[in-house]
Amino acid sequence: GSAMAAVQGVEIDPEGTFKYILVRLQRPGGGEQRDIVRGTKAAEFHNHIFEKVYPEMEKLGYECKCLGGGKIEHNSKDKKIRVFGLSTGYGKADHSVTVDILKEEYTDYEITWSDDKK
């Protein structure tokens, strides 16, 4: 498999409501690309998440750009994830793409999305 496939597709907090971003990784000069989801309560703003992801990915030799953001509500007890909202700075991520990525990781969860702000 490729090195890019080894990058964790999803890194989000195990519980609570928090900001998330959708990030596209790409080999410099094009070719292989992959979208990943990152979200954490530790981030007050969406760019805080990106500022952490960017150098990590750069070290691995990928260019990355933020495709947008939103919020994730993660209820691990009921195995539910809700994706909603948007990022003021980056705009709204395509939540349907985010849901597809989340489903690969959280296979037994009920995962939904909406354009609701709250």
pTM of the predicted protein model = 0.95
Sketch the domain layout of the chain as residue ranges: 3-114
According to the model, what pLDDT value does residue 3 have? 79
Q: Supply the DSSP symbol for 60.
A: T
Whether residue 1 has pLDDT greater than 70: no
pLDDT in tens, 58-117: 999 999 999 999 999 999 999 999 999 999 999 999 999 999 999 999 999 999 999 999
Gap between the Cα atoms of 117 and 46, Å rounded: 15
Q: What is the CATH number of domain 3-114?
A: 3.50.20.20
Cite the annotated binding site by residue number. 19
According to the model, what pLDDT value does residue 4 have? 82
pLDDT in tens, 18-71: 999 999 999 988 788 999 999 999 999 999 999 999 999 999 999 999 999 999
Q: Where are the alpha helices (DSSP H) in the chain?
A: 3-6, 46-59, 95-105
Cite the annotated binding site for substrate by residue number. 19
Residue 23 structure tokens: 């990030």
Residue 47 structure tokens: 């760019």
Whether residue 2 has pLDDT greater than 80: no
Cα 24-51-97 angle, rounded to 5 deg: 30
Query: Which of the following is catalytic: 46, 48, 74, 95?
Result: 46
Active site residue 46: yes
